[in-house]
Amino acid sequence: MKTLASRLGEWVSALHLPEIPIDLHAKAKDHLLDTIGAAIAGDGRRPVRIAAQVFRAPGDTPLLIDGAPRDPIDAARVNAVAAHAAEIDDTEGCDHTGAVVVPTLLSLAHAGRLGSGADLIAAMIAGYEVGRRVQNALGGYDAHNGAGWHSTATCGVFAAAAAAARAMSLDAEQCASALALAASSSAGTWAFAEDGSMAKQLHAANAAGGGLQAAMLARAGAAGPTAIFEDVWGGYFTTHGARSARPGELVTDLGERWHAGHSAVKMYAACRSAHPAIDGVIDALRGDEVSSEEIRSVRIELSPFLRRMICPEEPRTVEAARMSLPIALALLLLGQSLDPDAYLRFSDPEVARTLQMFSVAETEDLPSPQSVRVILGTASRDHVIERDTARGSQPMPFSAAEVRGKFRRLAEPRIGSARARALIDYVDSIGDAPLRRLPPVWEKPAPARVSASDREPTRPAGHTVP
């Protein structure tokens, strides 16, 4: 009997664009452009600057940030950190799938490993599909992440390996080995939530670099442990998944039921789990329900799982602030957008004063672990907002025009309108023809741009979010 890795490797190796639903072709382009835009927005930010100092092996693979080219693996690592640094990249796949898959494929595209645009789209879908299936096989997002694992890291490495294996046209045995070898790089936990460290952003680099390296090793002849997904000592699911694992989800209805479409685009630089509540508050403020001047109290009710994730008690860094639902809502009440640089204000006295009317409570009285209830209190009544689905998710996707509008909003202040337009045209033109190299993203000297490079503040110790 074939192992799960062998069955999955066969599928990755044989995947071609005509077998993929047509709606996923366009969705892949949206996520490709969206990830490039997120990486451009990441230029100059602290995690990116540090990653660029460490991952600096020389080569000719260009970066999506303003910096010297690297070798393919280090370029993928730096670009992955850049894509995830501002918390504006896609989500709901293996979590942040684009940040690990797109940098991997751009490195291989520059090296000439992708013959056509059709190959690029097929490789992207292979990565998105495998990454999501691994997460599902681990019991799903809530079970796996609730146990403390960060699925962008633990599942993302398989997404990168699958995408790279398909891009390099590895045969079925090599694809299986690439996935099996990637398991050795599957690591990363939510410990960063305690102190706001940048480990979260660096997890994307580990996943992209580890997955690309696994595929390169398999291509060179390295054999992976193809029983890695079976019930064996040291098997991936027996180690990572414990009681929640459902290994059969890796291959159930493979090629018939597609999971790649579950990935979502984000319009706010905030943890995805905060987005339903943010949507609800924005709708309330824009409508006739309530004005920010009327609000006297804000009560957030959510599960213990989400409390740890999106209501950190002491956000000391801008990275942690972007994970904070109270800070996001405080910024909204102060009339701010939730673009990445809005969070530079997270330690301002005005934000601190606004946060004084917030309270956070854990409750099990919600429809699901991902549900959030926000109660906006005024002198006359309470406005209750309760949602667990956000705009941009599979039930409520953004249009192609909205995705391109977001890209322009992020990219044009940094690289100029002409280069932004060239990148949009490049993505929109991807088809069956031979794949061109990505147009240059930056020029020398770089244009003036908003950057968080040297002014991302920290909050003094002891200053807590209620």
Q: How many CB atoms lie within 10 A of CB 231?
A: 10
How far is 334 from 346, CA to CA, in rounded Å? 11
pLDDT score for 127: 98
Strand partners, 149: 189
Write the secondary structure of 10-66 as one string of H (helix), E (strand) and C (coil): HHHHHCCHHHCCHHHHHHHHHHHHHHHHHHHHHCCCHHHHHHHHHCCCCCCECCCCC
- Report residue 110 as tokens: 């520059």
What residue has token string 């984000």?
Answer: 266
pLDDT tens-digit map of 222-232: 999 999 999 99
Strand partners, 264: 91
How far is 251 from 454, CA to CA, in rounded Å? 47
Identify whether 103 is preceded by a cis peptide bond (ω within 30 of 0): no
Report whether 100 contacts 204 (CB < 8 A): yes
Q: How confident is the model at residue 244 (pLDDT cuts 50, 70, 90)?
A: confident
Report whether 235 contacts 250 (CB < 8 A): no
How far is 47 from 299, CA to CA, in rounded Å? 32
pLDDT score for 453: 40
pLDDT tens-digit map of 442-461: 986 444 444 444 345 444 43
pLDDT score for 1: 82
What residue has token string 């993505």?
Answer: 427
User: How confident is the model over 50-72, as a mean pLDDT?
Assistant: 97
pLDDT score for 446: 44
Does the domain spanning 4-267+395-428 belong to CATH 3.90.550.10? no
pLDDT score for 334: 96
pLDDT tens-digit map of 364-377: 889 888 899 999 99
The pair phi, psi for residue 104, each rounded to 5°, is: -60, -45
DSSP 241-278: TGGG--GGGGTTTTTTS--GGG-B--SSSS-GGGHHHH
Report whether 102 contacts 416 (CB < 8 A): no
- Report residue 440 as tokens: 């240059």
Report whether 366 contacts 302 (CB < 8 A): yes
Q: How confident is the model at residue 418 (pLDDT cuts 50, 70, 90)?
A: very high
Burial 416-442 (b: 16+ CB within 10 A, else e): beebbeebbebbeebeeeebeebeebb
DSSP reduced 3-state for 212: helix
- Cβ neighbourhood burial of 362 (10 Å; 0-12, 13-18, 19+): middle
Strand partners, 361: 301
Report whether 98 contacts 427 (CB < 8 A): no
How far is 151 from 161, CA to CA, in rounded Å? 15
How far is 342 from 267, CA to CA, in rounded Å? 13
How far is 283 from 39, CA to CA, in rounded Å? 29
Q: Provide the mean pLDDT of the chain.
A: 93
Please, which residues have CB within 8 angstroms of residue 105's CB and are 6 or more apart in sequence? 114, 120, 123, 124, 127, 163, 164, 167
Could you state, in order of their start, the residue ranges of all structural domains in the chain?
4-267+395-428, 272-387
How far is 297 from 374, CA to CA, in rounded Å? 10
Given the DSSP bridges, would you call strands 382-387 and 297-302 parallel, antiparallel or unpaired?
unpaired
Which among 144, 129, 146 has a CA at the least distance from the CA of 241? 144
Q: What percent of the chain has pLDDT over 90?
A: 89
User: How confident is the model over 173-185, as a mean pLDDT?
Assistant: 98
Q: Domain spanning 272-387: which superfamily?
A: 2-methylcitrate dehydratase PrpD (3.30.1330.120)
Residue 5 has pLDDT above 90, yes or no: yes
pLDDT tens-digit map of 313-335: 889 999 999 999 999 999 999 99
The pair phi, psi for residue 166, each rounded to 5°, is: -70, -40
pLDDT score for 463: 36
Give the ranges where 66-198 is alpha helix by DSSP (H): 72-85, 97-110, 117-137, 141-146, 151-154, 156-167, 172-182
Given the DSSP bridges, would you call strands 358-362 and 297-302 parallel, antiparallel or unpaired?
parallel
Which among 272, 256, 252, 253 has a CA at the least distance from the CA of 264? 272
How far is 153 from 289, CA to CA, in rounded Å? 41
